[in-house]
Structure 1
Amino acid sequence: MRPGVRPLAGLAALAGLLLAPALALAGDPIMPLSSVHGGMDCTGYSVIAGTDIAGFDVHVISVVAGAGTAQPGILVRASGPAVDATGLGAGFSGSPIYCPDDQGVRRVIGAVSQSVGQYGNTVALATPIEAILGEPVVPPRSARGDPALLRSARPLGEPLVVGGVSPAVAAPFQRAAARAGRVLYVVPTAPVPGFGIQPLRPGSAVSTGLSSGDVYAGAIGTVAYTDGPNVWAFGHPLDAAGRRLLLLQDAYVYSVIDNPISTDAVPGTYKLAAPGHDLGTVTGDGLSAVTGRIGALPPSFPLRVRARSLDTGEVVTLNSRLADESSVGLPTGSSSLSLVAPMAVDQAAATVLHSSPARQSGAVCLSIRVAGLAKAMGFCNSYVATGAPSSTSSEAAVEQLLTSDLGQALQSLDDFQFGVPRIKSVQVSLTLAAGLRQGIMLGARALGVGRPGRRLRLALTLQHPYGNRERRIETVRVPRGLPRGRYVLSLTGTPEDSASSPGTSTVTIDLSGGSGGGGSTGQGPRSLAAVADAIAAIHRYDGVRGRFVRTGPAVAAARALAAAAPRPRPQRRRPARSPGGGAQGRLFRDPGLRISGTARLPVTVR
C-alpha cells in the first residue's frame, strides 16, 4: 500500500467507523441532494491495488442541474496520495463519496460516475445517491444549470476486461469493441494466488461477468452502496439494457494505469483489474446504476474448447462457464457465448500451434446441447488455407474461417425469438496443423471396367504443395442403372479455402450495448429445429465430386444435330442435359487430406 493511502477500517475500531464506511446490513445513511452544496470536503473510497479499499479526498465544487429530463450531477475534485498520480478513470465508477452532515454523521451523497474531459482526470461528476438507489431526484433551487458541461460529460465507461487470452488473440476483438464504442483490455493473468473471496461493500472492486473460468470476461467497477445482499455499483449503466442475468463477482486490481488525456481513441486512466469469484447475480442495468444480489448465481452453462495438434499430438482444453441471459431475452441483442466462444477458440488454436503460421489446415466441430432437442445442434467443417495475419487481422486465414463459421452458428442461436433456448452445454473440437494438407489432382485412370451399382477403383496422381507427388487408389460407385457404353468420368476436387470468399469474413462481435442487436423483426428461425437446421447447413462438403458423361459416335451425332437445329424463341424451361450426362455427385473424400484440382478419365461400363 502506498504511504498515505488510507485503508477502509473495519467495524472493530470506533476511529475506523469515523474515517470510512463499513459493511452495514441495513445500508449506510444517505444525504439527499438538497443538502449537498459546493465547498463540502468529503472522502471517496475505491480499490487502488489488490483488494484493500483506500480513501481519497473529495471536494464538492457544485451541484450541476440537468437540462430538461437529464438528471443532475455533483461536480467534484479528487485529491490525495491515492489518486494524485493518476486521477480518476474507468474502474472508479461507483466509488462512493461520504460527507459529514451538520451533526457530523458521515452520509453517502453519491458515487463517482462521469468524466468531464479535464486534463489529469481529477475533476468528475458523481451520480446522486438517490438516483443510484432509484429514488426520485429533485435538484435544489440553488443548483446552477450547465448544459454544456453535462453534454461534455461521459460515463467512466467500464472497459470489458478479458483474461486467459493473449494480446494477439484479443486484437481483433479489441477492434470490434472499438467499432462499437467500447474498450476491451486484456489482463495477462488471473488474480494472484491467495486471492480469497472478498465481501462486497462500498468501495470494493466489483465485476459484472459474462463468463468465468479459463477464459473470462467482464466489466470492472466499484460498489457504490450495499443493503443486506443487495448491491448497487458503477453509478451509471453498463449497457442500459434493463433486466440482466450476469455474474456478480469480486475483483482484483493490479494497478491504476495513468493516462491524463481521455479521447475516443485513447480512453484515459483505467484500473487494470481482473474478475474474481462468482458471488451472485447482476439483476439490473439501469441509467443510474448496475444492481445485483449476493447469493444465487444466474443461469449458466459450460463451454469446453478442445484443440489438438496434428503435428505434435499436443492437446489444449479450455473450460469456462457462461452466464445465460436467454430467459430475459438477450437484453443487449447478443449472448455472452458470441463473444467468449470465438475468443476461446482462437486462444486454443494459438496455444496448441505455439504460433500462427500463414499456411494451415484444420477442422472444427461444434456441438450445442439444448433442452428439448434429443440431438445436439452443430456442424463440422475442414479448412485448408493460406493467409498470414495482417494489419487488419491478427488471425491467420484458417482461424478467420473457423471463427466466421462459429460466429454464423451462434448468430442463428441468438436470432431465435420464438421461445427460450435453455443451453445445457457447448463443446468445440479443433484439429490443427501447420502447412497445407492438400493434394492437387494431376491425373487419374480407371483400373478395370465399371459395372452399374458396383465399385470402380481409380488410380490418382496427387501433388502435395511444396512436397512430393503421391499415387493413391480411391474407389467410386458406378450409378445403378447407368447404360453400358463409353464415358468420361469428370472429377472435381474442393479448392483451397479463401478468407475473402463470401460468407467467410471474420466474425463481427456485437459489443454495442444493445444498439446492434437483432431486434424483434420475427425474421429469425421459428423453432429450435429450424435453428438446428440453420446451424447444420453451415457444413460444407470438402471431398471430390464427379459425373459420368456419355461419349461415342452416337452421342457426338446427337450433339451436332442439336447444335444445327433452329433456335426457338426464348422460353422458361429447364436447362438441357448433355447426352449421357448427369449432375455432379459426391464420390469420395479423405478427412485427413483436401483433394483439389480436376481430372478427366475414360471409363467403360459393361
Structure 2
Amino acid sequence: MRNAFILAVILAATTEMWAQEILPFGDVEVGMKGYGLTVVAGDEISRFEVEVVGIIDEPGVENDFIVVRAYGDAVERSGGIAQGMSGSPVYLEGKLAGALSRTALWAAEPERPLGLVTPIEPMLEILEELEQGLYSEGGFHGSLPIERVEFVEKAPTTLADGVLYVMPVSVPVIYSGFSSRALGFLREGLDFQDFSAFGYLWAFLPPWKREVAGLGSYGITRFLQTPIGGEQTPSRTLDFVPGAPVGVGLVDGDLRLGALGTVTLREGDNLVAFGHPFLFSGRSRYFLTKARIIDTFAALDAPFKLGVL
C-alpha cells in the first residue's frame, strides 16, 4: 500500500488530470537544477534553489526520494530546511518533480542543507490506506560519499560512517486556548487508568481504547501557541497556490489546534500538500484552513515557521 499523504480534499488518482507539467521520477537525473517555493514570512512566496545530488530508488514507491541540496536567501534566512516547509513544491527543468518532505540531520553546511523530495506521482495516486513501517533502510545512488540512507523518526544517539540519516520535516502544531496540563495530554497522550475520576470504568473499555496516543508519538516535536481572542487568522492570507502555507485543523472554536504545512499543487478544488504522513490514520477528514506565516526562526534542533491558522 502507498503512503497516505496529507489530503486537503479528495485527490485524483492519476497525473493526467493536472495541467501542471509533471517530471516523472524515472526521468530525474543527478546534476539537475531547479527551484522550490515557500513562504518565509508574511504573504510573499520566496524561491530557493535546489540541485539533485542523489536518487533513492527502492522497490515500490513509499521509499522513493529525490535527494537535493537546497540553497539561496530563503534557506539561509530560515536557518536550513524549516518545520512547516514540508510540501514546498520543487521544480526541475520547469516541471513539478515533487514536494520537499525530509531533511538530513546535522548538516555540515546549514546554508546548503540536504533535503529529500517526495516524487509527485504517488501524491497524486493515493487510493489505499497508510501502511505503517515507512521508515526503513534505503539504497542511494548519487554523487555523495554515502553508502546507505536510514529513515528515522528522531535523531539517533549513535552515528555510523557513510550513513545519511534523514527524518520528516516535522509539521509545527499551532494551538490556542489550552492549559499547560491539557497541552501535556496532547503532547504525551493519556492513560485512563491514571485518572481516579474514571474510577474503574476503564476496565470495561477494550484494551486498545484504554490509552490515547499523544501527538508526540507521531513525530511532532514543535507546539507553538498563538494569541487568544481577536482575529485569529489575519485578513491578508495567500490563496491556496503552490508554495503558500496551508493549515490542517484538528480543533476549531474557543480551542484551536492544527498543523502548518505548504501547498504543493492545486488545480480547481483539488490540492496536495505536506508530502509526508501526518498522524498515520489513513484516510481522514480534517478542516482545511488558510494560514499566515509570521516569521521563520532558526533553532538548535530544527528551524521552524511560526504562523496562525
TM-score for both structures, normalised by structure 1: 0.36
Partner of 1:337: none
User: What SS is found at the alignment partner of 1:231?
Assistant: strand
Compute the displacement of 1:198 (Å). 3.2
C-alpha contact 1:158 1:219 (8 A) present in aligned 2 = yes
Query: CA offsets, 1:339-398, max 9 Å, x none?
Result: xxxxxxxxxxxxxxxxxxxxxxxxxxxxxxxxxxxxxxxxxxxxxxxxxxxxxxxxxxxx
Partner letter of residue 158 of structure 1? V
Equivalent residues, number: 235
Are the structure 2 counterparts of residues 149 and 208 from structure 1 closer, same or farther at C-alpha, using a change threshold of 3 Å?
same
Give 1:118's match in structure 2, choosing from 106, 109, 131.
106
Two-structure CA RMSD over aligned residues (Å): 2.9
Partner of 1:144: 141
Identity, in percent, stands at 29
- Which whole-Å CA distance do the structure 2 matches of 1:154 and 1:74 have between them? 14
Are the structure 2 counterparts of residues 129 and 269 from structure 1 closer, same or farther at C-alpha, using a change threshold of 3 Å?
same
* Alignment of 1:65 onto 2:63: no
Compute the displacement of 1:184 (Å). 4.5
Partner letter of residue 220 of structure 2? R
Give 1:159's match in structure 2, choosing from 151, 154, 172.
172
- Which whole-Å CA distance do the structure 2 matches of 1:64 and 1:174 have between them? 32
Partner of 1:256: 296
Query: CA offsets, 1:309-364, max 9 Å, x none?
Result: xxxxxxxxxxxxxxxxxxxxxxxxxxxxxxxxxxxxxxxxxxxxxxxxxxxxxxxx
Are the structure 2 counterparts of residues 154 and 242 from structure 1 closer, same or farther at C-alpha, using a change threshold of 3 Å?
same
Partner of 1:242: 282
Compute the displacement of 1:26 (Å). 5.0
Partner of 1:42: 34
Give 2:121's match in structure 1, choosing from 119, 130, 145.
130
Compute the displacement of 1:78 (Å). 1.1
Are the structure 2 counterparts of residues 164 and 49 from structure 1 closer, same or farther at C-alpha, using a change threshold of 3 Å?
farther
Compute the displacement of 1:234 (Å). 0.4
C-alpha contact 2:226 2:308 (8 A) present in aligned 1 = no
Partner of 1:107: 95
Query: CA offsets, 1:405-444, max 9 Å, x none?
Result: xxxxxxxxxxxxxxxxxxxxxxxxxxxxxxxxxxxxxxxx
- Which whole-Å CA distance do the structure 1 matches of 2:123 and 2:233 have between them? 34
Partner of 1:91: 84
Bigger radius of gyration, 1 or 2? 1
Give 2:46's match in structure 1, choosing from 44, 54, 60.
54
Partner letter of residue 206 of structure 1? V
Compute the displacement of 1:172 (Å). 5.3
TM-score for both structures, normalised by structure 2: 0.67
Partner letter of residue 118 of structure 2? T
- Which whole-Å CA distance do the structure 1 matches of 2:57 and 2:236 have between them? 42
- Which whole-Å CA distance do the structure 1 matches of 2:177 and 2:269 have between them? 30
Query: CA offsets, 1:59-84, max 9 Å, x none?
Result: 11121222676431000111111111
- Which whole-Å CA distance do the structure 1 matches of 2:106 and 2:259 have between them? 24
Compute the displacement of 1:271 (Å). 1.1
The worse-fitting range, judged by mean Cα deviation, of 193-202 and 155-164 is: 193-202
User: What SS is found at the alignment partner of 2:284?
Assistant: strand
Listed as ranges, the gaps of 5+ residues in structure 1 are 1-24, 101-105, 137-142, 262-267, 276-606
- Which whole-Å CA distance do the structure 2 matches of 1:27 and 1:163 have between them? 38
User: What SS is found at the alignment partner of 2:283?
Assistant: strand
Partner letter of residue 162 of structure 1? Y
Partner of 2:203: none
User: What SS is found at the alignment partner of 2:183?
Assistant: helix
Compute the displacement of 1:41 (Å). 1.6
Query: CA offsets, 1:425-472, max 9 Å, x none?
Result: xxxxxxxxxxxxxxxxxxxxxxxxxxxxxxxxxxxxxxxxxxxxxxxx
C-alpha contact 1:66 1:147 (8 A) present in aligned 2 = no
User: What SS is found at the alignment partner of 1:131?
Assistant: helix
- Which whole-Å CA distance do the structure 2 matches of 1:182 and 1:197 have between them? 25
- Which whole-Å CA distance do the structure 2 matches of 1:134 and 1:116 have between them? 26
User: What SS is found at the alignment partner of 1:110?
Assistant: strand
Compute the displacement of 1:240 (Å). 2.9
C-alpha contact 2:237 2:291 (8 A) present in aligned 1 = no
C-alpha contact 2:99 2:117 (8 A) present in aligned 1 = yes
Matches for 1:360-509 after TM superposition, within 5 Å: none
Compute the displacement of 1:52 (Å). 1.9
* Alignment of 1:30 onto 2:43: no
User: What SS is found at the alignment partner of 1:84?
Assistant: helix
Give 1:207's match in structure 2, choosing from 247, 250, 253.
247
With CA pairs under 8 Å and 6+ residues apart, which has the higher RCO, 1 or 2? Answer: 2
Listed as ranges, the gaps of 5+ residues in structure 2 are 1-16, 128-139, 152-164, 190-213
* Alignment of 1:274 onto 2:308: yes
Compute the displacement of 1:157 (Å). 2.1
Compute the displacement of 1:231 (Å). 0.7
Partner of 1:188: 226
User: What SS is found at the alignment partner of 2:252?
Assistant: strand
C-alpha contact 2:172 2:305 (8 A) present in aligned 1 = no
- Which whole-Å CA distance do the structure 1 matches of 2:125 and 2:299 have between them? 33
* Alignment of 1:228 onto 2:268: yes
- Which whole-Å CA distance do the structure 2 matches of 1:147 and 1:232 have between them? 32
